[in-house]
A and B are shown apart, each in its own frame.
Chain A
Amino acid sequence: MDPISRLIRELARLPGIGQKTATRLAFHVLRAPAPQVRDLAQALHEVKEKIRLCSHCMNLTEHDPCALCADASRDGRVICVVAHPPDLLAIERTSSFRGRYHVLHGVLSPLDGVGPDDLKLRELLLRVQGKPQHISDEEDEAALSSQPANQPAITEIIVATSPNVEGEATAMYIARMLKPLGLRVTRIASGLPIGGELEYADGITIARALEVRREI
């Protein structure tokens, strides 16, 4: 196969890119200055070579443990469980959480064929139990040998998955998994959005907001 066809074929395998776009991108690459193309190739290569999962929190990182897990000023007793790395970033941007994280890399979704073994749930369980976690995809000796820096016992798990069908099911699953260990498992609140209007809220949201109402 000639290099152009090969490039088109590879690009077309990316999500959201069809044959037409792949062809356009391939010819763009072909016309681009050589250093730019080399940078792109290197970036693609490095992201695969250098980025891996933090052996503690399963977040994407270049160094293991990741910066968040290595940060001694964070409270290791509280762990916030999120579905995806961008969710972690969204919480970090608020600077309102100073505990640590655990990234599941997905949510339970029977419709999409995602079960408990497809997520970093076992890793969460092991972490909570204070046992070394294994990286499920590859055996990474370095990750296994790097010891957590004086991890205190975990006391609370905050489940911060989205309040949709899959996020709720995942949260309930985690509660079921961890409650028997005597941990406090909490769920981020859901209800009316700040700045939103009650009139336009759906019945489920209003019902939930009423259910978890607070005294003022």
Chain B
Amino acid sequence: MRVHALTAEGFRNLQPLAVSPHPRFNVLSGDNGQGKTNLLEVIYVLATLRSFRTTRLDELVSFGGEAAALRARVEHRQSERVFGVDIGLRPSRKQALCDGKSARTGEYFGGFNLILFAPEDLRLPKGPPSGRRRFLDRAIWNTCPSYLDEVRVYERILRSRNILLRGGPGTSSPTEESEHAPSRSRGSAPLPDSAALLDIYDQRLASAGAVLFVRRRRYVEALAPRVAEVFGRISGGDHEVQVQYQPALKPSKATEKSSTHLDSGRTDPEIIAPVIDEQRVLSERLHAQLQRDRRRDQQRGFTHSGPHADDLVFFLDGRPADLHASQGQTRALVLSLKIAEIQHLHALLGDPPVLLLDDVSSELDRDKNAALFAFLRESVSQVFITTTDPNYIRIGPSPEDRQDFAVRAGRIVPVESATSGE
């Protein structure tokens, strides 16, 4: 995938821009607050219809402005499409456009995939689980756009169940009273009681949750060997890393404690069975778990088990990396994770995704920077890099692979020749 032309108007602090990015390396340098990351955000919004920094549309529009228009001409497997996003504030709206025509999300996604690597990612292994779930969700969504809807359905059921746990409608209404006084409504049979409603949401949550369990499990299974391989290369083979998906689902009673982290594919039929059967098995297990946990869930007012409590765990030489890895090892781990994500997506799409690197180099030491750029040179992806110091950017000896841009006060100006290549 390559962005051949990019325009933006009314976006944050950016002056109206029209750039023709280089098919390989685009280096955006400038001081902080000049608009480097805003340009990455333009590309990100075009590919994903959302920002990685905010969920508020009004923050994306220039101060005092009322609308923003973004366009990118993107090549994917020898064909070109123009992706567009129009953002309006009065009324607040976001319109996706494909080749100039308004497109529904189902039609929009596919054909423009990107991966962002930002300084926040470096905190993934030691940060809260929510960050790792977000990483998983973004990465899976890239491989499968409909995953987003699956997550939304799950979250809606989860919020509904939590309300019922705390005594929502139908749990503290006259229905419950009629349980104790069945003669209330003119001698008729009462409606199913409040537990029945919770039963239904248990069932719905289990089946929606199983969809996410299966997606995440498969994704991590595909990613794990790549992470281990890349880490081995970066760390010179001195250490071993393992990535494991940890679904928030207690293993069945017979399961050993050692496999708590992932009892994926424990029984052979599960491996062989198609996704539907795998989903059914996990759905039944989550359902049983929810029923077992109901009292505790009701006492605490939230749901303990399910994909919303999943985690991704890293082991360094067999020990939990969040406790035992040094700062440098943690960074090498994240670097391996991101590189593995890129490789996996590339293999899956048959086309390299666009990469956005937001000021990452300043956070990596010399060796890891060298490893990162060695990978980037090897990969054939189009890359957008922001930096406060172009000297961090060690792309290598071929300046024809690189276009520098100077970013100042929202203006993005191509720099004539690559002066700081090495």
User: Which residues of A are at the interface with B, using a C-beta cutoff of 8 A?
Assistant: 108-111, 113-118, 121-122, 125-126, 129, 131, 134, 164-166, 168-169, 172-173, 176-177, 200-204, 207, 210-211
Do residues A172 and B204 form an inter-chain contact, with CB atoms below 8 A?
yes
Contacts A116-B192, A165-B156, A201-B146 hold; do A108 and B197 have CB atoms under 8 A apart?
yes
Cα–Cα, bound, A10→B138 (Å): 47
Measured CB to CB, the closest approach of chain A to B276, in angstroms, equals: 6
User: Which residues of B are at the interface with A, using a C-beta cutoff of 8 A?
Assistant: 106-107, 144, 146-147, 149-150, 153, 156-157, 159-161, 163-164, 168-171, 173-175, 185-186, 188-189, 191-192, 196-197, 199-201, 203-204, 208, 211, 215, 275-276, 279
Question: Can you identify 9 A-B contacts, CB atoms within 8 angstroms?
Answer: A110-B159, A110-B163, A110-B201, A113-B168, A117-B191, A122-B191, A172-B203, A176-B200, A200-B107
Cα–Cα, bound, A117→B163 (Å): 16
Do residues A125 and B163 form an inter-chain contact, with CB atoms below 8 A?
no
Do residues B175 and A211 form an inter-chain contact, with CB atoms below 8 A?
no
Do residues B106 and A200 form an inter-chain contact, with CB atoms below 8 A?
yes
Contacts A111-B156, A115-B168, A172-B204 hold; do A203 and B144 have CB atoms under 8 A apart?
yes
Measured CB to CB, the closest approach of chain A to B213, in angstroms, equals: 13
Cα–Cα, bound, A113→B192 (Å): 18
Do residues B157 and A165 form an inter-chain contact, with CB atoms below 8 A?
yes
Do residues A202 and B185 form an inter-chain contact, with CB atoms below 8 A?
no
Closest Cβ neighbor of A201 among chain B residues: B146
Measured CB to CB, the closest approach of chain A to B185, in angstroms, equals: 7
Do residues B188 and A114 form an inter-chain contact, with CB atoms below 8 A?
no
Write out the residue numbers on chain B whose beta carbons fall within 8 Å of the beta carbon of A110.
159-161, 163-164, 168-170, 201
Do residues A207 and B170 form an inter-chain contact, with CB atoms below 8 A?
no
Write out the residue numbers on chain A whose beta carbons fall within 8 Å of the beta carbon of B161.
110
Write out the residue numbers on chain B whose beta carbons fall within 8 Å of the beta carbon of A113.
168-169
Do residues B175 and A169 form an inter-chain contact, with CB atoms below 8 A?
no
Do residues A111 and B188 form an inter-chain contact, with CB atoms below 8 A?
no
Cα–Cα, bound, A121→B196 (Å): 14
Judged by DSSP, the binding face of B is helix
Do residues B188 and A122 form an inter-chain contact, with CB atoms below 8 A?
yes
Do residues A176 and B192 form an inter-chain contact, with CB atoms below 8 A?
yes
Cα–Cα, bound, A173→B192 (Å): 8
Cα–Cα, bound, A210→B160 (Å): 27
Closest Cβ neighbor of A177 among chain B residues: B192
Contacts A126-B188, A211-B276 hold; do A203 and B160 have CB atoms under 8 A apart?
no
Supply 17 further A-B pairs (C-beta < 8 A) apart from A108-B169, A115-B171, A204-B149.
A110-B163, A110-B170, A110-B201, A115-B168, A115-B170, A122-B188, A125-B189, A126-B188, A131-B188, A169-B200, A173-B192, A176-B192, A177-B191, A202-B106, A203-B211, A203-B215, A204-B150
Closest Cβ neighbor of A196 among chain B residues: B106
Do residues B186 and A173 form an inter-chain contact, with CB atoms below 8 A?
no
Do residues A117 and B188 form an inter-chain contact, with CB atoms below 8 A?
no
| Interchain CB contact (< 8 A) of A117 among B175, B189, B196, B211 | B175
Measured CB to CB, the closest approach of chain B to A140, in angstroms, equals: 15
Cα–Cα, bound, A173→B194 (Å): 11
Do residues A173 and B196 form an inter-chain contact, with CB atoms below 8 A?
yes
Do residues B160 and A169 form an inter-chain contact, with CB atoms below 8 A?
yes
Contacts A110-B160, A110-B168, A200-B106 hold; do A210 and B191 have CB atoms under 8 A apart?
no
Do residues B163 and A115 form an inter-chain contact, with CB atoms below 8 A?
no
Write out the residue numbers on chain B whose beta carbons fall within 8 Å of the beta carbon of A211.
276
Write out the residue numbers on chain A whose beta carbons fall within 8 Å of the beta carbon of B174.
117
Write out the residue numbers on chain B whose beta carbons fall within 8 Å of the beta carbon of A172.
200, 203-204
Please list the 10 inter-chain residue pairs (A to B) with the smallest Cβ-Cβ separation, ordered nearest first.
A115-B169, A115-B170, A202-B146, A110-B163, A110-B160, A110-B168, A172-B200, A200-B106, A202-B149, A165-B156
Closest Cβ neighbor of A169 among chain B residues: B200
